[in-house]
Amino acid sequence: MSWNYRVMKHRKIMKDGTAEEWLAIHEVHYRSKEVDDLTVPVDEIGWSGEPTTVIGDDIADLRSVLEMMLKALDKPIIDVGLE
């Protein structure tokens, strides 16, 4: 199984009936190593329940994670639909 960071669009209907929408970066895991991560359908992936937090042992670790996250901004947004 392969993974990377991706921007995901979330939507939620609030108690007052209004819709709330936001984007977040998540770890995304692909069910197949051969998947085209630019066109993968949402049912072929798993993702972290919470948006990613940047944590590292040192500046180099933080830089590496942030560089991987920046690559997510160049890929299509994955729309997870209503939650």
DSSP per-residue codes, 15-38: TTS-EEEEEEEEEEEES-TT--TT
- Number of domains within the chain: 1
∠ CA(63), CA(70), CA(6), 5° rounding?
A: 120
Domain that includes residue 46, residue range: 2-82
pTM here?
0.83
Query: Would you state the pLDDT for residue 41?
Result: 82
Q: What's the mean pLDDT in 72-77?
A: 96
Q: What's the mean pLDDT in 13-33?
A: 91
Helix (H, G, I), strand (E, B) or coil at 46: strand
